[in-house]
Structure 1
């Protein structure tokens, strides 16, 4: 299927005005460019019951910041399921503020609390810093469930793009160390499942579809020191086993260089006994899900994720 007309219109505008692509920018410029796009095309911020900034202490004395959203219909005394959410941005860009509206949508759509994690970014903090922060956030949230007003037995993890990658890596790490209680579900939006890939989508959608091959290299080179692309914490597809992972809901975009990798990952999870519900959005490009002020499909993706989380986490 060709690009959706609105996706084509956005790309035509971007390329017509000669907007620089991520690989043409330094890190600060790329972060500002991403923030401008997210702020310009996101929907209006929905009301939620509460928003609280949460400092999570690291062992070295520094602090990982996170933000807790409680859904609009939740009473202050309600003990809620929790989604720990890691934003996208190639491990190099993106932040809590850029994802504020999206996390509000998820909280209300699923009826769960959402803890948005401001993990460290590359190249200042290359792999495995982001992974370590995401892993810490889940452990800390479960340990401090009373403080957050959440049920430690009903915790899910999710993220888009790089955030989906971190979510998968944390799920595998928790399985490896037999962490308890286990994560109940994974909510993944076009996750990066494998750094080095020769699947057809990388070439088919590698130029002119927003996330181009040069930008992928730009992100990968900043996140990963040499020789780490096959580490399963960076490339979950490289894990020896994908068995015994939480049930997954996975949203993908048809015109995305990562979609073939996502499909291959989902197929392998099923082959090893796991459960994956997939929803591909026809004609969409990578990154569409947070741009609900422009793409109606973005709000549909929130509905898909919200319904799956509500079912998987037992929201009544």
Structure 2
């Protein structure tokens, strides 16, 4: 067993160094060597999972999760434990961690936030995002609840969303117990967590829940699984070889067998009928100047799909609680703060969502940090901490302090 472990570690290190040195980098990114290193380490966690499973050390996903969680904690800024009180508990059987700031005690009810971690619905945890949640609690002087929602592939959609809805409703309904004003509760998350936050907003509105969250904070969110060829995806593919990771995590979230993951990655999971139905919601005309490269070609709405993929998969991918950008009705939703980053494949759908919210009469603020990368809020500490990641966190804290 020890030899197998050493073999995995050695192979991963060699492959990781080779990948890091050969990986192309978006020239707009500041501190490129730090970003290159962090990005390569993310890739190595997936490689470790593949190799570990082949050597019988566990499942690919569990091994990847082990390294992924520790990587995020390693690259995040730490918060003085004397400044925040942590409590692990259950909200209607859903595991959560509560963060209460200690430096500014008050008898008046505070603002609150329910946070959903990122990781593509398959990775991440309360532990991986512990420094981020603690930072928001301390710097914004609010009670933060981080949700340990169940993840795919063990628990595909709608389980992760249902867990987030349950925990959110519990916190708002019992806000007084935590000295929180139920009318001043934000919800938010990064990446897949941003997707869950937007979906929770829709679900609470559609079920008539009150009081609604005061704000939704969407940090480089996934907002649609219809088209993986928006201009920002196209730009991102110039600096990565393929979309296989997206195909895998989306496939797992949608409950699709592995044999269909490649079709998802190659944009072949959606029928022409569905593409035509939702194409008006992916308008590139709303993107700022310079966002669409001259050689970009949009997806042909008549593109034939892989007919071995069940049609139900496309229907799930375009469900409004999976792809909030595709909702016909975006009225009466909480005020939105959408943060995008320049080198991110998801950037354009964030812009489009903010635009559609405004069209629907919802107040929406879009903030773009052009020189940073997807995952930046977890790259703020130690040798690999980035200035752009710290700026992203500062922007989020400012929004929370001023608007919640």
List, as ranges, runs of 4+ consecutive aligned residues in structure 1 with deviation greater than 4 Å: 12-18, 20-24
CA contact (8 A) 1:109 1:302 kept: no
Q: 1:27 aligns with which of 55, 61, 72?
A: 61
Name the CA distance, whole Å, in 2 between partners of 1:302 and 1:16: 21
Q: 2:85 aligns with which of 41, 50, 53?
A: 50
Q: What corresponds to 2:394 in structure 1?
A: 303
Q: How far apart are residue 146 of structure 1 and its match?
A: 2.5
- Give the TM-score taking structure 1 as reference length: 0.90
**Within 5 A, what are the aligned runs for 1:282-297?**
282-293=370-381, 294-297=385-388
CA contact (8 A) 2:339 2:350 kept: no
Q: 2:70 aligns with which of 36, 49, 64?
A: 36
Q: How far apart are residue 21 of structure 1 and its match?
A: 4.2
Q: Are 1:250 and 2:341 an aligned pair? A: no
Q: What corresponds to 1:178 in structure 2?
A: 208
The alignment's C-alpha RMSD in Å is: 2.3
**Within 5 A, what are the aligned runs for 1:216-295?**
216-225=246-255, 226-227=313-314, 228-293=316-381, 294-295=385-386
Q: Where is the strand percentage greater, Structure 1 or Structure 2?
A: 1
Unaligned runs of at least 5 residues, structure 2: 1-25, 51-59, 256-312
Q: 1:160 aligns with which of 182, 190, 204?
A: 190
Aligned residues: 307
Q: How far apart are residue 275 of structure 1 and its match?
A: 1.6
Name the CA distance, whole Å, in 1 between partners of 2:100 and 2:394: 17
CA contact (8 A) 1:87 1:162 kept: yes
Q: 1:98 to 1:207 in 2, by over 3 A?
A: farther
Q: How far apart are residue 13 of structure 1 and its match?
A: 7.3
CA contact (8 A) 1:42 1:291 kept: yes
Name the CA distance, whole Å, in 1 between partners of 2:85 and 2:44: 37
Q: How far apart are residue 231 of structure 1 and its match?
A: 0.6
Q: Where is the helix percentage greater, Structure 1 or Structure 2?
A: 2
CA contact (8 A) 2:338 2:365 kept: yes
SS at 1:130 equivalent? helix
Q: What corresponds to 1:127 in structure 2?
A: 157
Q: Which has the higher contact order (CA 8 A, sep 6+)?
A: 1
- Give the TM-score taking structure 2 as reference length: 0.71
Structure 1, residues 54-91: CA drift from partner, whole Å, max 9, x if none? Answer: 2112xxxxx21101111233327442111000000000
Structure 1, residues 217-269: CA drift from partner, whole Å, max 9, x if none? Answer: 11101010334101111110121111221111121110011101111111111
Name the CA distance, whole Å, in 2 between partners of 1:167 and 1:284: 22
Q: Are 1:195 and 2:219 an aligned pair? A: no
Name the CA distance, whole Å, in 2 between partners of 1:72 and 1:55: 22
